[in-house]
Structure 1
Amino acid sequence: MQLLRTGAFLRAARSARFAVVQSRTAPSATTYIRTPSRWSSSQVAAEQQQLQQRSFPEQSVAGAKEVDPAKTAESKSDGQPGHQKTIAGAPYVLDNTTNVTDSILNLVGRNLYEHPDHPICITRKLIESCFPQPEYNHFTMSDPVVTVRDNFDVLGFPADHPGRSRTDTYYVNSSHLLRTHTSAHQHAAFQTLGSEERTTGYTICADVYRRDSIDRSHFPVFHQMEGARVWGLDPDIESRYAAQSARTAKMATQLKALPSTSIIVEDNATNFSTDVNPMQPEHDPTEVQLVVSHLKRSLEYLMQQIHNAAQQSIPQSARTPLQVRWVEAYFPFTSPSFELEVLWNGEWLELLGSGVVQQSILNKAGLTRGIGWAWGLGIERFAMLLFGIPDIRLFWSTDKRFLQQFSSGKITKFEPFSKYPPCYKDIAFWINPAPAGASPRGATPWGSAAAAGGDATKASPTETQPAAFHENDIMEVVRDVAGSLAEDVKLVDEFVHPTSGRKSLCYRINYRSLERTLTNEEVNRLHDEVAKRMKAQFGVELR
């Protein structure tokens, strides 16, 4: 469940055994992968064959022409409406909504969470180990293209939610997009729980895509995990009252069985009777308290396991206790809702979001007699803390000096192999007046630049009215031109002409490679191309 949408960057380990998830890519269907670690190789092969034949109706490829994918790759695909793109093996027809670029599509299929010696995969397995099978299924999702319905509609996103905006989201066409959160697969994951007796929960891991700012902690592709657990009523007990009493007793027993932790916990989210963070009217207060306690204890255990793993390389005398705190939050998928923060270098850092699943979501998945919890987190944030990785771009590096530092099941601190010099270039331009949009420093009647996070004029992906210049627009141009050679892009000056009322913006771009020294000629060429595209695509007047 994407429970970090409203947080910053929306938004371990048992060394014994990690659950193994074998990857299989179904070209035109979303596939759930589940491989218990104790299976034999023949069982794995049989499951792989079965999974390759499985697809979910809600993930069908709408908006795609009936063509041979192999031939589609050879077709004209310059991003113009009516042309075709092949993404993860499936063909899609582009339209006026399309805004995904080749620089983003080139990252599709890297599947870092499946490479055993990569920090993303190591972190993923470490988190999965805290939610053991068979109680939990572990899913990985290889195809990032999902329907607008699954990414937004089924989850109850309002039509004007900023997350639907083309300034925030990469659209393949009007009906398909690159998923913005793992919750795009949540409905199907909940449905699997209704058909399995021993499994009561799941985790999902996938790469997700968002148009965002450029700096050391943001990248247009990152990785999320979410988890959920549901308690149903025993169908063999006819009386609803008796069945609920039995469930309540079972939940209390399972809560006591959870492992204890030694971390320091400050809980500022214990009152669910107010309008600020209410329990749902369909739920019994006693059961809500048990669900919340089980959720918090489970995630506190996760945090302790991660903390223990992070301190493996630190001398015993230098190790410090972990301090976390629970705070109230709001998410459209849960109520009550909570964020878990950790005290890191003297500051409270948000790590994940969680809460009691909205009953309507369970009902849609056929779990009308269930109650449960869910959480969501960004893997990069955990991995950066675990391995001491200072720049999110490093996760996508193919440099052996980075990749050879890590191995499966081990937490080793990253050793920088060099620090190459930055090259700063400024670009200043007048923006055209356009309706709506909030300026990074306040709106004006002369046209404005909307800060990252949504632009009301682009809330509808089929909006035809020209929108105000959005900060993510320059981020996307820089990203498409310079790729990972752009370390950060910052607004450094904003000026409104006293006579004409025209607004000028100046952005400073820091070009820096993680692997080599850039030449002035190379940087100038990149910067000239950025200026050229800004003028051509957004009609700005360069200063």
Structure 2
Amino acid sequence: MSKLVMHFSAKTLTSSTMAPHNMLTTRTARLAARLFRETLCFRCQRRLVSSSYPPTLTIGSQTYPTDSWTNTPSSILAAIPRKLHLQDSHPLALTRSLIESRFPRYTSHTTLPAVVTTHQNFDSLSFPPNHPGRSPSDTYYINSSTVLRTHTSAHQADLFRASNSPFLIAADVYRRDAIDRSHYPVFHQIEGAHTWSMSSSSIAEIRAETEAIPAPPVRIEVEDTNPPFHAQRNPLQAQHDPELTTAMAAHLKRSLEGLIGTVFARAPRPASQANEPIKARWVEAYFPFTSPSWELEVLYQGSWLEILGCGIVQHSILDGAGAGDRAGWAFGLGLERVAMLLFGIPDIRLFWSTDERFLGQFRGLGMEGAWPRFEAFSKYPACYKDVAFWVAEHTGSTAGGGGAGPAPSATTAGFHENDVMELVRGVGGNIVEDVRLVDEFRHPKTGRRSLCYRINYRSLERTLTNEEVNGLHEGVRRELVEKLGVELR
């Protein structure tokens, strides 16, 4: 599911201080506003389509034809074999193993292919044809019917179809996004799902399973003031029996409370709080693919952190997978944000580092014993460069992927900020730490729009020379003109 709540783990690790009863209204309004803005952009969206793409792309052992939808650069393709969540003693692999340890009966899928069809990524989850998540501004297209998965849920329907067994999916996922210390175009998610027969006999089975879930290794105080479902705020699905949904919700919450206890038992806390219980709360939420839905927040270092999202799977998804006689729950979270919290890793780029000063700090770690906090090596100086340009704004049709027709050229379609991010990342790679819009204005006479972005060039491993940075920045300026059709100022 996309960063517009395509998936439970889409959010970055943020704090929230709102009262629980206000949070759903605020988030729903924020989501509606974001969807409206993104839909407007979607209508005029450009794609970074280059004639430099070869007729075919080979990814692993498979070869795919390219077309006017192809927008996946070689730098992203090169990340596919890395599989950080499977590398021995890597912080992401350790975090994955820690989460998996709470679900010993679940089948764990960790090697599912990154390339999926638009049907798997969107249609199987009932994405409408004009959903912003289908836009090439958000998604890496191999061709009009094939993408790099934007969420682990792309495999959900296939697994529901294949087996009734509960499962976990851990995988690398791909999204065009902003550039800063908490966003990267390749990141990792883990999700889980459990289903039961919709027969009345399942209720006793679910309750017995709930009672058998092991207690977490630390005490947890959980605030849960809302009912299992609510007609307006968090509705029960028409196909579901209220008692069955109540039983599934209790099983889901007990499972995830245990997960939170396991994770935060390893999170560093002041000695004065070592024996205090972990405080958590359930908050009603909205996700398009579950209902009712919730977020689980944890009070950590004085702030409420949104850790994961979950809910009762929409019956249409199970029905479409040939499992319409079953009901169940699903949850999802991001591995990077949990690992950053557990290990104190300040920059998401570090997970991709091959520097021994980073990797050596975690070598030999396992599920036994304490995990050390990351010790930063010398921070190298930043170099800031600004680039300002006039935007050529035109409109064009960009219906979602899946054989929707040819993509417009880069210089005739509308402007989207993710195009700038992708272009800068393509030129500077991991040397670019941050890109921010620092100025925007519209000329009062001509109506033309001017944007100014500030790029922070900083290597994690060495001091950059002026010549290097100037060369990279000149490359960014040149690409902006050639690929986005802007006029430099």
CA contact (8 A) 2:293 2:312 kept: yes
Counterpart amino acid of residue 225 in structure 1: I
Distance in structure 2 (CA, Å) of the matches to 1:343 and 1:467:
45
Query: Using a 3 Å threshold, how does the CA distance of structure 1 residues 269 and 537 change in structure 2: closer, same or farther?
Result: farther
Give the 3-state SS of the residue equivalent to 1:99 in structure 2: coil
Give the 3-state SS of the residue equivalent to 1:203 in structure 2: strand
Please list the CA deviations of residues 395-422 of structure 1 after superposition, one character each: whole Å capped at 9, or x if unmatched.
Answer: 0000001001112335221011111111
1:414 aligns with 2:374: yes
How many residue pairs match? The answer is 441
Corresponding position of 1:101: 73
1:222 aligns with 2:187: yes
Q: TM-score of the superposition, structure 1-length normalised?
A: 0.77
Counterpart amino acid of residue 163 in structure 1: G
Query: Using a 3 Å threshold, how does the CA distance of structure 1 residues 488 and 95 change in structure 2: closer, same or farther?
Result: same
CA contact (8 A) 1:488 1:510 kept: yes
Query: Using a 3 Å threshold, how does the CA distance of structure 1 residues 141 and 79 change in structure 2: closer, same or farther?
Result: farther
Please list the CA deviations of residues 184-228 of structure 1 after superposition, one character each: whole Å capped at 9, or x if unmatched.
Answer: 11112112324xxxxx30000110000000000000000011100
Query: Using a 3 Å threshold, how does the CA distance of structure 1 residues 281 and 325 change in structure 2: closer, same or farther?
Result: same
Corresponding position of 2:43: none
1:232 aligns with 2:197: yes
Question: Which stretch has the larger CA shift, 350-359 or 420-429?
Answer: 350-359
Corresponding position of 2:442: 496
Corresponding position of 2:38: none
Distance in structure 2 (CA, Å) of the matches to 1:167 and 1:324:
36
Counterpart amino acid of residue 305 in structure 1: T
Distance in structure 2 (CA, Å) of the matches to 1:79 and 1:172:
14
Out of 122, 142, 154, the residue aligned to residue 172 of structure 1 is 142
Please list the CA deviations of residues 2-60 of structure 1 after superposition, one character each: whole Å capped at 9, or x if unmatched.
Answer: 7953778435xxxxxxxxxxxxxxxxxxxxxxxxxxxxxxxxxxxxxxxxxxxxxxxxx
Distance in structure 2 (CA, Å) of the matches to 1:517 and 1:9:
33
CA contact (8 A) 2:390 2:488 kept: yes
CA contact (8 A) 2:307 2:333 kept: yes
Out of 375, 380, 388, the residue aligned to residue 331 of structure 2 is 375
1:106 deviates by 1.3
Query: Using a 3 Å threshold, how does the CA distance of structure 1 residues 363 and 94 change in structure 2: closer, same or farther?
Result: same
Distance in structure 2 (CA, Å) of the matches to 1:10 and 1:79:
34
1:140 aligns with 2:110: yes
Corresponding position of 2:312: 356
Distance in structure 2 (CA, Å) of the matches to 1:524 and 1:140:
41
Distance in structure 2 (CA, Å) of the matches to 1:6 and 1:372:
17
Please list the CA deviations of residues 250-298 of structure 1 after superposition, one character each: whole Å capped at 9, or x if unmatched.
Answer: 1122222223452122225425132331011111101111111110111
1:347 deviates by 2.4
Give the 3-state SS of the residue equivalent to 2:350 in structure 1: helix
Higher normalized contact order (CA 8 Å, seq sep 6+, divided by chain length) = 2
Please list the CA deviations of residues 469-495 of structure 1 after superposition, one character each: whole Å capped at 9, or x if unmatched.
Answer: 111011001100111100010000001
Give the 3-state SS of the residue equivalent to 2:181 in structure 1: coil
Out of 93, 101, 111, the residue aligned to residue 83 of structure 2 is 111
Distance in structure 1 (CA, Å) of the matches to 2:177 and 2:273:
41
Corresponding position of 1:424: 384
Distance in structure 2 (CA, Å) of the matches to 1:126 and 1:2:
25
Matches within 5 A, 1:492-531: 492-531=438-477
Give the 3-state SS of the residue equivalent to 1:309 in structure 2: coil
CA contact (8 A) 2:228 2:292 kept: no
CA contact (8 A) 2:8 2:310 kept: no
Matches within 5 A, 1:1-400: 4-5=5-6, 9-10=10-11, 80=52, 83-133=55-105, 136-194=106-164, 200-232=165-197, 244-261=199-216, 262-311=219-268, 315=271, 318=274, 320-400=276-356
Distance in structure 1 (CA, Å) of the matches to 2:384 and 2:221:
43
1:315 deviates by 4.5
CA contact (8 A) 2:290 2:314 kept: yes
Please list the CA deviations of residues 83-140 of structure 1 after superposition, one character each: whole Å capped at 9, or x if unmatched.
Answer: 111112211111000000011111111011111210010010110110113xx10001
Give the 3-state SS of the residue equivalent to 2:389 in structure 1: strand
Query: Using a 3 Å threshold, how does the CA distance of structure 1 residues 271 and 256 change in structure 2: closer, same or farther?
Result: closer
CA contact (8 A) 2:8 2:287 kept: no
1:319 deviates by 5.8
Counterpart amino acid of residue 136 in structure 2: R
CA contact (8 A) 2:234 2:293 kept: yes
Distance in structure 2 (CA, Å) of the matches to 1:357 and 1:296:
14
Question: Which stretch has the larger CA shift, 161-170 or 328-337?
Answer: 328-337
Larger radius of gyration: 1
Give the 3-state SS of the residue equivalent to 2:426 in structure 1: helix
Question: Which stretch has the larger CA shift, 143-152 or 345-354?
Answer: 345-354
Q: TM-score of the superposition, structure 2-length normalised?
A: 0.85
Query: Using a 3 Å threshold, how does the CA distance of structure 1 residues 207 and 425 change in structure 2: closer, same or farther?
Result: same
